[in-house]
């Protein structure tokens, strides 16, 4: 299976286009499960395949990954009967683009592999259906512009929406059906079941632009189930270092609220980064929280403006404090910032399994697996 993926790799873009073309031609009943614009979806298919192939000899993480996919696919309306159609067209696409490398043995391997994946996904979906709806209908009850293309949007789901501080939810708007995007609640769970998201309008972003500039109180959205492992372990005792940039402040704020709810004895250091002082989004809220909790310390970093005491990129400022090698780290924000901050903390001695951050783009595909050192035998 890995060898065949290597063979079709140079033709990956054409293969995914072909896959969806024959899937919709042979099984038009599945077209309604997908968004009108398939550009993002094609990339997700390929990434999902690569992840599955990477895990074929790692049963524990393969089951975990496919279970996440199965539960997440409930919101699309995926049914057991759809899986054979997808498998048939997937094998046809692989055979076409693998060319002479395709063989009866390879076909048998992919048939068996896909069958296992489908069974795990269907089982996870069925188990999830016993206790939770596939989606939650939610009314927007508050919409506030925070500047710099950011809106604070509060919704009231039609049923209790379970999540843990630090997790994220998938959101679908009525303006672009089947186009789901992922946002983190900006707080720990509330008694009134309302959920507030901080959404930044992304250039050419269909969902984010609509939520920031078009949505208003009374509009309805849909929420998929909460996902994510960037949560606090109430039994842990290590002090925390948290790094937030942009709307990455949302899950960090939720984690701090959760620490306060637990009644933590741990110290929490929060670093907030932005390009300019005006863009230090959410800093005032965090400073007010630090005045209420002696264990919370908040610092800011500005990378593109000369301000005494604040100047520097967030990873650079982070490196000036510490040491952090005994801490648990939580990072959220732009990809570059998270990558650099993670490297900074790793150099200071925090092992990777204690550095937690938001998955990028597609949670079900990017969600943390077991630490790699637990997945691979030690080298000789």
Please check whether the two domains, 2-129 and 240-375, share a CATH topology.
no
**CATH superfamily ID and name for 2-129:** Globins (1.10.490.10)
Question: Domain extents for the chain?
Answer: 2-129, 136-223, 240-375
pLDDT of residue 204: 79
Phi, psi at 171, each rounded to 5°: -125, 135
Angstrom distance (rounded) from CA 364 to CA 158: 24
Please give the class, per CATH, of domain 240-375.
alpha beta
CATH class, 136-223 region: mainly beta
pLDDT at 307: 58
- pLDDT score of 13: 86
The token duo for 208 is: 């984010």
Residue 222 has what pLDDT? 97
pTM given for the model: 0.84
The predicted structure's pLDDT at residue 329:
96
pLDDT tens by residue, the chain, 380 residues: 888 888 888 888 899 999 999 999 999 999 988 888 887 777 777 778 878 888 888 888 889 889 988 999 999 999 999 999 999 999 999 999 999 999 999 999 999 999 999 999 999 999 999 999 999 999 999 999 988 889 999 999 999 999 999 999 999 999 998 888 999 999 999 999 999 999 999 887 889 999 999 999 999 999 999 988 899 998 889 999 999 988 889 999 999 999 999 887 899 999 998 877 777 778 888 999 999 999 999 988 887 666 555 556 777 788 888 789 999 999 998 888 888 899 999 999 999 999 998 765 544 444 444 343 333 332 32
Q: Distances from the Cα of 372 to the Cαs of 34, 233, 249, 269, 349, in angstroms? A: 33, 20, 28, 27, 17
* C-alpha to C-alpha distances, 261 to 168, 250, 254, 294, 295, nearest whole angstrom: 19, 17, 10, 14, 13
Does a cis peptide bond (omega within 30 degrees of 0) precede residue 269? no
What's the CA gap between 135 and 158, in Å, rounded?
Answer: 10
């Amino acid at each position: 299976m890995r060898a065949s993926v290597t063979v079709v790799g140079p033709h990956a873009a054409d293969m995914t286009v072909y896959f969806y073309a024959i899937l919709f031609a042979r099984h038009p009943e599945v077209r309604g499960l997908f968004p009108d614009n398939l550009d993002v979806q094609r990339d997700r298919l390929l990434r999902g395949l690569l992840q599955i192939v990477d895990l074929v000899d790692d049963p524990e993480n393969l089951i975990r990954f496919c279970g996440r996919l199965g539960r997440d696919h409930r919101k699309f309306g995926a049914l057991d009967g759809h899986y054979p159609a997808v498998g048939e067209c997937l094998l046809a696409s692989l055979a076409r683009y693998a060319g002479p490398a395709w063989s009866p043995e390879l076909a048998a391997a992919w048939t068996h592999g896909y069958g296992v994946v489908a069974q795990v996904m269907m089982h996870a979906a069925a188990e999830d259906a016993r206790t939770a709806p596939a989606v939650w209908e939610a009314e927007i009850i508050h919409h506030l512009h925070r500047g710099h293309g950011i809106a604070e949007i509060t919704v009231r789901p039609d049923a209790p929406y379970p999540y843990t501080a630090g997790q994220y939810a998938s959101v679908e708007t009525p303006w672009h059906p089947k186009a789901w995007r992922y946002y983190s609640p900006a707080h720990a769970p509330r008694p009134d079941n309302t959920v507030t998201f901080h959404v930044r309008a992304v250039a050419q972003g269909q969902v984010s632009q609509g939520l920031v500039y078009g949505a208003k109180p009374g509009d309805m959205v849909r929420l998929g189930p909460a996902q994510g492992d960037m949560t606090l372990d109430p039994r842990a005792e290590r002090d925390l270092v948290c790094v937030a940039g942009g709307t990455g402040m949302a899950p960090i704020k939720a984690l701090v609220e959760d620490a306060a709810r637990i009644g933590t004895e741990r110290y929490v250091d929060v670093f907030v980064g932005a390009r300019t002082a005006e863009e230090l989004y959410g800093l005032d809220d965090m400073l007010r929280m630090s005045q209420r909790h002696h264990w919370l310390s908040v610092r800011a970093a500005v990378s593109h403006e000369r301000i005494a005491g604040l100047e520097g990129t967030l990873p650079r400022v982070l490196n000036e404090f510490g040491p952090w090698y005994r801490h648990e780290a939580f990072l959220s924000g732009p990809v570059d910032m998270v990558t650099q901050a993670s490297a900074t903390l790793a150099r200071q001695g925090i092992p990777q399994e204690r550095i937690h951050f938001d998955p990028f783009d597609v949670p079900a595909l990017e969600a943390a697996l077991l630490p790699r050192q637990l997945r691979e035998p030690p080298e000789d």
